[in-house]
Structure 1
Amino acid sequence: MSSNFFVRHSFQCSLFIAFIVLFSLQWCAFAADFPNPVTKCHFGDEKCMIEQATKLLKKAATGIPEKNIPSLEPWKVAKIETLGDKSKALNVDLVMSNVEFYNYTKASVSGIKGFTKDLSKPMKIVTRNINPHMTIKAHYKINGNILVLPVIGEGEMTMVLDNVKSRFTTTIKAQERNGKHYMSVDNIKIESSVDRVTTEMTNLFNGDKTLSESILEVMNENWRVLSDELTPRINAALAHSLEELLTNFFIDIPYEDYFLTE
């Protein structure tokens, strides 16, 4: 189940996961034609940026075709994969495919900091968001040991995450082209916490009900301990995917057009 918790970050994750960074960094990047009801803010107006980022995240639930943003309900990720470590309590190979994050767009942005007018050095944009309830569904394949107990199976997995808090630290650099500055992503770090994760997995131990119920109970009771080992790897994979997405998104948006003129 731990694995699930992290998987969800891996998305939390989700992506985990993940897209609030895109919106909080880019809500203002739509320049003169923001999708309704989103509007631009003055530079340094964090309250306004938080409000607009939250609006854009909600709008993304149905997608924004004019900005090439697909529907995020659910937010889909092709694959999340982790390998076991024999020296750890969680020693499993886990592959999650056709991963779907539900209620991701129900998150609210709680903070955006780091934008600067000095483009001679990299900017570190720190974004925070809170999601009261998120569900992750995926096809899974697992093999290994959890707290010395063997676990094996392949089937469907559902993870329910309560009160997911995420912090995204995105380092971006400016590149000058034709008198304008365009942003590129240098690095993304994702950190997540959750109050509770509950996991269900079908067809563990080839459908053995007794063994399945026993291992799921262990996983759910020990999710926090196991999460400490899985979260960094899952978040790293998510950050890599998000970095590619943001790089493509920034490519033709001049930083000079991000904010209202003063």
Structure 2
Amino acid sequence: MDVKSVSMLSVTAVVVLILSVLCQTVFSKPASTKVSRLSKYVKICKINDPQFDPCVNNAMKDIFKYAKTGIPEANIPIMEPFKIPEIDLSIFQALSPQILGSRQNADKFRAFARNVIIHHASELKINRIKTDMKEKKFNLNLNLPFLDIVGEYDVNLILFGLPIKSIGPLKSNVTDTNVECTLKGQLVTRKSDKYLLFDNIDIKVDFKDYNIIIENIFKKDQNLNRALNDMIKSQKMELKKLVMPMVEEIAGKMLLTMLNQIIGSLPYTEWFIVDED
């Protein structure tokens, strides 16, 4: 299991929330036959306003005031803390000789992070928002000063030549995370309504530092447990460089799936400004 990837994927899950807020709240307004469910929570921005992007920035700050409660009627989840039931890490099997020191049995290999809880995600700083509603494109640059992450691992693998089948706690924190993300979507028709679905994503994630502690993966040998965590600490920047491309690949897929589940729950005309002729 590449434990460093848990921190990376937790960061990208935070981006899902931010983009959800962006798409669901700040562009919506009462349509001719519908009343916006969001006007009581956030100022509604107008697409033809020259200050549209700054308006979006301010509106997102307003919506994050509801980080601890969410907005159920708009399908916006609780953001503080943010919970991820499961992250599948099986994609990292291909790097197992470099990361785990051993080749894996493909039939038995298992690596998951479960019950992941992320604290301080709502303390993000938005550096830039650019929107192109004609092209259905969204670009976001932001910084997360600090994330505190707890969860549990569930693995069946070979670690440095030793078979390991174990479940246990993991802890992590990530400092000074920078995220650059561009999403492009299109309108699809379901029955008589149109919905926005994203089908392309480009995401880059980087951060200054991170720490991970894995507890009791070697159930009967605390010396090996200490050695593993010491190795992660001493080689964490090398691990970061090694797994970054695969982390961003799985992060992109996770982002698209989660965001489309949220945005696709309501018609486009209920969430977005529709200019009148």
TM-score tier (shorter): 0.7 to 0.9
Contact in 1 for aligned 2:28/2:45 (Cα 8 Å): no
Aligned amino acid, residue 10 of structure 1: L
Matches of 1:249 and 1:141, distance apart in 2 = 28
Report the 3-state secondary structure (helix = DSSP H, G, I; strand = E; otherwise coil) of the residue aligned with 1:206. Answer: coil
Name the CA shift for 1:170/1:255 in 2 (closer, same or farther; >3 Å). Answer: farther
- The residue aligned with 1:42 is 46
Matches of 1:150 and 1:48, distance apart in 2 = 56
Which residue of 214, 238, 250 maps to 2:263?
250
Q: Which has the higher contact order (CA 8 A, sep 6+)?
A: 1
Which residue of 71, 94, 98 maps to 1:89?
98
The one-character-per-residue Cα deviations of 1:123-165 (angstroms, maximum 9, x if unpaired) are 33111221111012111134445xx697955310011101111
Q: Structure 2 matches for 1:53-202, cutoff 5 A?
A: 53-82=60-89, 83-85=92-94, 89-91=98-100, 94-116=111-133, 118=134, 122-142=135-155, 143-145=157-159, 152=164, 153-175=166-188, 182-202=195-215
Contact in 1 for aligned 2:53/2:131 (Cα 8 Å): no
The one-character-per-residue Cα deviations of 1:15-64 (angstroms, maximum 9, x if unpaired) are 14542122223332442342654212232521121121233234233211
Name the CA shift for 1:26/1:232 in 2 (closer, same or farther; >3 Å). Answer: farther
Matched, 1:19 2:17: yes
Aligned amino acid, residue 236 of structure 1: E
Contact in 2 for aligned 1:63/1:71 (Cα 8 Å): yes
Contact in 2 for aligned 1:24/1:127 (Cα 8 Å): no
TM-score (normalised: structure 1): 0.81
Q: Aligned-pair distance for 1:223? A: 1.5
Contact in 1 for aligned 2:37/2:74 (Cα 8 Å): no
Which residue of 225, 229, 234 maps to 1:216?
229
Contact in 2 for aligned 1:165/1:193 (Cα 8 Å): yes
Aligned amino acid, residue 121 of structure 2: Y
Name the CA shift for 1:41/1:90 in 2 (closer, same or farther; >3 Å). Answer: same
Sequence identity of aligned pairs in percent? 19
Report the 3-state secondary structure (helix = DSSP H, G, I; strand = E; otherwise coil) of the residue aligned with 2:211. Answer: strand
Matches of 2:82 and 2:250, distance apart in 1 = 16
Larger radius of gyration: 2
Name the CA shift for 1:37/1:227 in 2 (closer, same or farther; >3 Å). Answer: same
Name the CA shift for 1:39/1:144 in 2 (closer, same or farther; >3 Å). Answer: farther
Contact in 1 for aligned 2:175/2:207 (Cα 8 Å): yes
Return 5+ residue gaps in structure 1 as ranges.
Answer: none
The number of aligned residues is 254
Aligned alpha-carbon RMSD (Å): 3.1
Matches of 1:107 and 1:204, distance apart in 2 = 33
